[in-house]
Amino acid sequence: MSIAHLDYETTSESDIMSVGGYRYSVDPSTRILMFAIAEDDGDPVLWTFDDPYSEESMLAETMLERVISEGHLLYCHNYAFELAISHHRLRTDVGTSATPRHENYRCIPQCKGR
């Protein structure tokens, strides 16, 4: 089983520092601007909201959907935030039908649970 690395960049009218990651992720104004995903030691691939049908964006979307669907581990800088965004914004903003599962998300070792 491969592992993947995932990072979202988002925007919102909500202040994540005031409301926390979960409430931020469910705020109707929150949007995914871009995400980067890489498998194992491969180069990252970038999906962007302003060009979602580019070759690279389509590759990133397909890779993320496959990684989630197949249950691969997803390492993130803040897994709780990435999981909340995946759960609440991925289908709407990116269009993927993959259902994220909590047990597949991990913090990278340097984050120490933050």
Average pLDDT of every residue of the chain: 91
How much of the chain exceeds pLDDT 90, in percent?
71
Output the pLDDT for position 114. Answer: 44
Q: Token pair of 72, please?
A: 């691969």
pLDDT tens figures, 16-57: 999 999 999 999 999 999 999 999 989 999 999 999 999 999
15 confidence band (pLDDT: 50, 70, 90) = very high
> Hey, is 79 helix, strand or coil?
helix
Q: In what order do the strands lie in the sheet with 105-107?
A: 45-48, 31-39, 3-11, 73-76, 105-107
Task: Give yes or no for residue 104 having a pLDDT over 90.
Answer: no
Report pTM.
Answer: 0.88
Nearest alpha-carbon partner for 35 in 25, 44, 24: 44
Task: Give yes or no for residue 109 having a pLDDT over 70.
Answer: no
Do the bridges between strand 3-11 and strand 31-39 make them parallel or antiparallel, or are there none, so unpaired?
antiparallel
Nearest alpha-carbon partner for 28 in 73, 88, 68: 88
